[in-house]
Amino acid sequence: MTPLSGYRPGRRGRGPGPAGEGFQPRLAVYAGGGSSHSWLWFVELAERLGLHQVAVLDHRQVAEGGLAGREALLVSGGDTFGMAEALGPAGARALEGFLRAGGLYLGSCAGAYLPLNSSKPPLDLFNWVPAKITNLCRDLPAARELAEKFCTAYGCSWVFHPVREAVELAGRGPGPWGRAGSFPAPLYGGPAMVVSGGCQELARYAGFTQRTRFLAEPELARRTLVGRAAVVRAGLGRGRLYLMGPHLEHPRFARANRLIAQTLRQELPAALGRQPAPPAAERLAGVAARRWLRDLQREVSNLRIVACNLEGHPARWRIGRKVYEPAKLRVYAEAAWPRLRRLERLPGLELPAGAAGLVEGWHELAGRARRLHAGLRAGHDMTAPAAELLAGLNRQTARLVETYFANLAGAAPQAAARPRPAARLGGMAR
Amino acid sequence: MEFLAADKVAVVDLASGQVSEDELSEELVAERIGGAGVTARLHQEHADGDPLVLGAGLFTGTLVPGASLGVLTGTSPLTGGLAHAPLTQYAGQELKYSGFDYLVFKGRAAEPSLLWVHDGIADVEPAGDLWGQDVWAAVRAVRQKMGDELIQVLGAGPAAERGSDLGQVMVNEWASGDRFGLGKALAAKNLKLIAVRGMGLLEIAEEEEMVERCLALLAEVKGGAWGGRQGQGALGQALGYDDYADWLAPAVHRSHSSFNTPFAYNTFLYLDADPGMKAEPDQDEPGVLLGDPGAAGALKGLGLSVEEAGRVILACAKEGLDAAAAARVCQAQGKTSAQDILAALPGLTGPVEGLEGPFSTWAPQGLAADRDAWLRRMAVCHVFGIDPIFGLLAPEISEEKLVGLAALGTGLEITQDTLDAVVADLLG
């Protein structure tokens, strides 16, 4: 099989280039309950690959048939329990139906834990992959740092995360994974696994890098991770699941990204030769398009400014089982902003159904962000408002990203091209 | 205009609240370079709306040493002629990254308003709640409303609102170099303030060479006569102010520079806390930023102590008054004690006399060889966006080097002839 086209320099370093003429799988990215901001990494990867048929689904949409017509579901990080609770029995049934009918599941971090066999409700709704995790213990070891990110309660035990940041993986097995050799990928709490019958190990933890941050003693980290499975493949009915402990979709890890690209191409041959579907949507042109875009930019910018201001704020919010910091707010804003700038180059705009209420939605979020800022400055506990704001950002960024992809799918290549290279000087927080 | 620019000019019709946008043409930059060169042209083009034009210099916000300057250009209510107010600290740099190169304010708003400029968007918003507030309160309120303490605020204080000739345009909580009453002109348009946040990007045509040259120039400046010197005391010494540094010394807390300006000529005086303290003070701001040697020098000349002078300058900052002019007007009225001056400030309206020319004497003429040399240097600094006081202190930042950097940065044919023509027009 011809591998995906070669890499080209990207804004964030060398990354995979377009996936080639006429490779347009119909992708879904999960951004529902329990998900953190990292689903945006799958979105960025899809965009780099030139894959424009992307739906961003929340838990309700998954449960209500949103996966129909989709060939792959990409689930990134967050709170696994939160995802399972949000999806619930209806979501689990929908997801299982999607897989048994031949769907492809790519999960990283929390998205990798979710389909692993578990006895704990509601995780037991998703018992599809018979692999065990090795980063599980009864007696929690001491955290060297980042205690808030070190562990998650799991019944009477603990899921613990001995390291963070880049680790070294070694590919195994047939196909692109076996040819991959060793490559780095970032680990932010994902599992190390031991496979059993029906599972195939595609990559294992091979060691650490200069960037690895040890939250546990290095010897314990080594025993827990090195030689254990980092990426596994399993089947369910006619479907396939790829579970990745580290975030191979992270935009700064080009070699890991390429494996995802090759996996998509290998697993979804029917998508080859397909052209992007023209979006069926309301169309705005001329002044109306510019005005709509400007109104949306105004609100995103207002939020972006507050998010930038709060980036270094020491507040921490425990939301569900995860701890979030204010810097996460800016991730959404910075995902939204450049995409709006790129839409400026189009002569008109396609507004899919999800675009309705975008301007009002971001206006509300900007107001929430400003109130959050005021509350933090006043020294108040802002956990509840922060949770609402982050959930809203997940929703509204999903709608914005879908609108963006709908326009890319219908745009001439030159109009959809990435903007000019990053400038040399920029305004910033001081 | 692709390089060193956001490629956008906003024309704000204050009467209707409508904002229209034009591209910044390469032809205009090739002819007028930037800063006051362009603001003066835009002022002429929009003369029917009695405009104020806000802009940044060609290099503002870049690595060119001293490139911190923003410029507000308008018809001075004091001289009746075209005047350029120098805006230092971080206002110019923030404007440069705000998504606009220039903003033209025409007409008069029907109600007190503010302009919120961010990410290439300029919106006129009501500001009735800010009208009448002192400068500090207004700055705090707008930053709180928008959720960001890094927002740069150019505004008018109560003095400008009541039509005082001494009403200058302020940079955040502190004085600007405006000697021309452009704060009064701003308030006359019912525009209380302009809030700016810049998170944009700039492209450079020949970035590597330009960066190299800027770093070399910085090294040259640091090795020059002013390398390692700092504060208002050093500046006063250069101006021949006897015992100025000694007079300041009891209240000096620290020196402070504008964006990328190697000579930190501003001085923070502590009035309500120990100037020797290194820790964060309990008060929001226990002192005053001194950036105008004319103001402090005039108050010293009246016999005030540094603490008394600091309190007068602080009160002027809150009122939005030009402290140097306030000292002169009070002296003319026979008010020479700190108590009398402080009592007079809220009602001080002028007149301010003796002003001439388009450039502010906030950047002291005494730092130049003669008036002609001073005028030319002012014009050059206001075109390229170089802090004018720093420009007077750093002969290493020569016109030849600036012109060379302009060509590198923009990719346009900008020559000494181009600069000569712009300077001649500005001084015309």
Q: What angle do CA B385, B386, B390 make, to 5 degrees?
A: 160
| Whether the Cβ atoms of residue B30 and residue B414 lie closer than 8 Å to each other | yes
The Cα of A317 is separated from the nearest Cα of chain B by a number of Å equal to: 19
The Cα of B334 is separated from the nearest Cα of chain A by a number of Å equal to: 45
Percent of chain A with pLDDT over 70: 90
The H or E element containing residue A399 is helix A383-410
* A424 pLDDT more than 70: no
Out of B98, B147, B207, the one facing A369 most closely (by C-beta) is B147
| Whether the Cβ atoms of residue A369 and residue B145 lie closer than 8 Å to each other | no
User: Do the Cβ atoms of B197 and A305 come within 8 Å?
Assistant: yes
User: Do the Cβ atoms of A309 and B123 come within 8 Å?
Assistant: no
Q: Who contacts B307 (Cβ-Cβ below 8 Å, separation ≥6)?
A: B250, B251, B269, B271
Spatial separation of the C-alpha atoms in residues B365 and B362, rounded to whole Å = 9
Tell me the per-residue pLDDT of B404-428, one tens digit each, with 9 for 90 and over. Answer: 999 999 999 999 999 999 999 999 9
User: Do the Cβ atoms of B97 and A424 come within 8 Å?
Assistant: no
SS3 content of chain A, % helix, strand, coil (to 5): 40, 25, 35
Out of B94, B119, B200, the one facing A297 most closely (by C-beta) is B119
User: Do the Cβ atoms of B121 and A373 come within 8 Å?
Assistant: no
Other Cβ atoms less than 10 A from the Cβ of A20: the count is 15
Helices (H) and strands (E) in chain B, counts: 17, 15
- Using an 8 Å CB-CB cutoff, list chain A residues near B204: 423-425
Report residue A278's pLDDT band, with 50, 70 and 90 as the boundaries.
low
Out of B119, B149, B202, the one facing A425 most closely (by C-beta) is B202
Tell me the per-residue pLDDT of B311-369, one tens digit each, with 9 for 90 and over. Answer: 999 999 999 999 999 999 999 999 999 999 999 999 999 888 889 999 999 999 999 99
Mean pLDDT calculated for residue range A223-242: 97
Report residue A125's pLDDT band, with 50, 70 and 90 as the boundaries.
very high
Tokens of B249: 């010394």
- Residues B122-148 as b or e (16 or more Cβ within 10 Å = b): bbbeebeebbebbbbebbbbbbebbbb
User: Do the Cβ atoms of A426 and B93 come within 8 Å?
Assistant: no
User: Do the Cβ atoms of A430 and B90 come within 8 Å?
Assistant: yes
Spatial separation of the C-alpha atoms in residues B174 and B164, rounded to whole Å = 18
- Using an 8 Å CB-CB cutoff, list chain B residues near A370: 145-147
* B48 pLDDT more than 70: yes
Report residue B249's pLDDT band, with 50, 70 and 90 as the boundaries.
very high
Mean pLDDT calculated for residue range B152-166: 97
A294 and chain B in contact, CB less than 8 A: yes
Spatial separation of the C-alpha atoms in residues A248 and A266, rounded to whole Å = 17
Spatial separation of the C-alpha atoms in residues B420 and B100, rounded to whole Å = 26
The Cα of B5 is separated from the nearest Cα of chain A by a number of Å equal to: 11
To test the contact with chain A by mutation, choose from B148, B149, B258, B284 the residue with the greatest count of A C-beta atoms within 10 A, namely B148
Report residue A281's pLDDT band, with 50, 70 and 90 as the boundaries.
confident
Q: Is the peptide bond before B275 cis (omega within 30 degrees of 0)?
A: no
Mean pLDDT calculated for residue range B180-202: 96
| pLDDT attached to residue A18 | 62
Beta carbon pairs, A and B, within 8 Å? 79
Report residue A15's pLDDT band, with 50, 70 and 90 as the boundaries.
low
The ipTM, to two decimals, is 0.94
* A415 pLDDT more than 60: no
B215 and chain A in contact, CB less than 8 A: no
B61 and chain A in contact, CB less than 8 A: yes
φ, ψ (nearest 5 deg) of residue A244: -120, 115
| pLDDT attached to residue A408 | 85
Spatial separation of the C-alpha atoms in residues B379 and B81, rounded to whole Å = 16
Tokens of A288: 């109306």
Tell me the per-residue pLDDT of A60-104, one tens digit each, with 9 for 90 and over. Answer: 999 999 999 999 999 999 999 999 999 999 999 999 999 999 999
Q: Which of A309, A306, A296, A307 is nearest to A363 (CA)?
A: A296
User: Do the Cβ atoms of B121 and A428 come within 8 Å?
Assistant: no
User: Do the Cβ atoms of A309 and B149 come within 8 Å?
Assistant: yes
DSSP states of A31-62 = -STTB-TTHHHHHHHHHHTT---EEEE-HHHH
Helices (H) and strands (E) in chain A, counts: 12, 22
Spatial separation of the C-alpha atoms in residues B203 and B235, rounded to whole Å = 35
Owner of token pair 């770093």 = B215
| Whether the Cβ atoms of residue B103 and residue B71 lie closer than 8 Å to each other | no
* B119 pLDDT more than 80: yes
Q: What is the dihedral of CA B416, B421, B424, B427, to 10 degrees?
A: -100
Which residue in B has a C-alpha nearest to residue A369's C-alpha? B147
Other Cβ atoms less than 10 A from the Cβ of A250: the count is 25
Q: Which of A24, A6, A33, A15 is nearest to A418 (CA)?
A: A15
Which residue in A has a C-alpha nearest to residue B64's C-alpha? A425
* A265 pLDDT more than 60: yes
B93 and chain A in contact, CB less than 8 A: yes
Classify B361 as helix, strand or coil.
Answer: coil
Distance, CA of A182 to chain centre: 23
Spatial separation of the C-alpha atoms in residues A192 and B109, rounded to whole Å = 64
State the alpha helices, DSSP H only, in A20-129.
Answer: 39-48, 59-63, 80-100, 110-113
* A11 pLDDT more than 50: no
- Using an 8 Å CB-CB cutoff, list chain B residues near A309: 147-150
Out of A305, A373, A426, the one facing B201 most closely (by C-beta) is A426
Tell me the per-residue pLDDT of A379-395, one tens digit each, with 9 for 90 and over. Answer: 999 999 999 999 999 99
| pLDDT attached to residue A21 | 65
Report residue A419's pLDDT band, with 50, 70 and 90 as the boundaries.
very low
- Using an 8 Å CB-CB cutoff, list chain B residues near A429: 150
The H or E element containing residue B160 is helix B158-161
| pLDDT attached to residue A22 | 78
Determine which of A178-187, A245-254, A308-317, A416-425 has the lowest per-residue pLDDT on average.
Answer: A416-425
Mean pLDDT calculated for residue range B55-71: 98
Spatial separation of the C-alpha atoms in residues A166 and A162, rounded to whole Å = 12
Distance, CA of B130 to chain centre: 22
A304 and chain B in contact, CB less than 8 A: yes
| pLDDT attached to residue A421 | 39
Classify B71 as helix, strand or coil.
Answer: strand
B242 and chain A in contact, CB less than 8 A: no
Residues 116-175 of A with CB under 8 A from B: none
| pLDDT attached to residue A329 | 97
Which residue in B has a C-alpha nearest to residue A311's C-alpha? B148
To test the contact with chain B by mutation, choose from A305, A341, A428 the residue with the greatest count of B C-beta atoms within 10 A, namely A305
Strands (E), B137-290: 152-155, 170-171, 191-197, 201-202, 252-256, 266-270, 287-290
Averaged pLDDT score across all residues of chain A: 89
Report residue A149's pLDDT band, with 50, 70 and 90 as the boundaries.
confident
Mean pLDDT calculated for residue range B278-303: 90
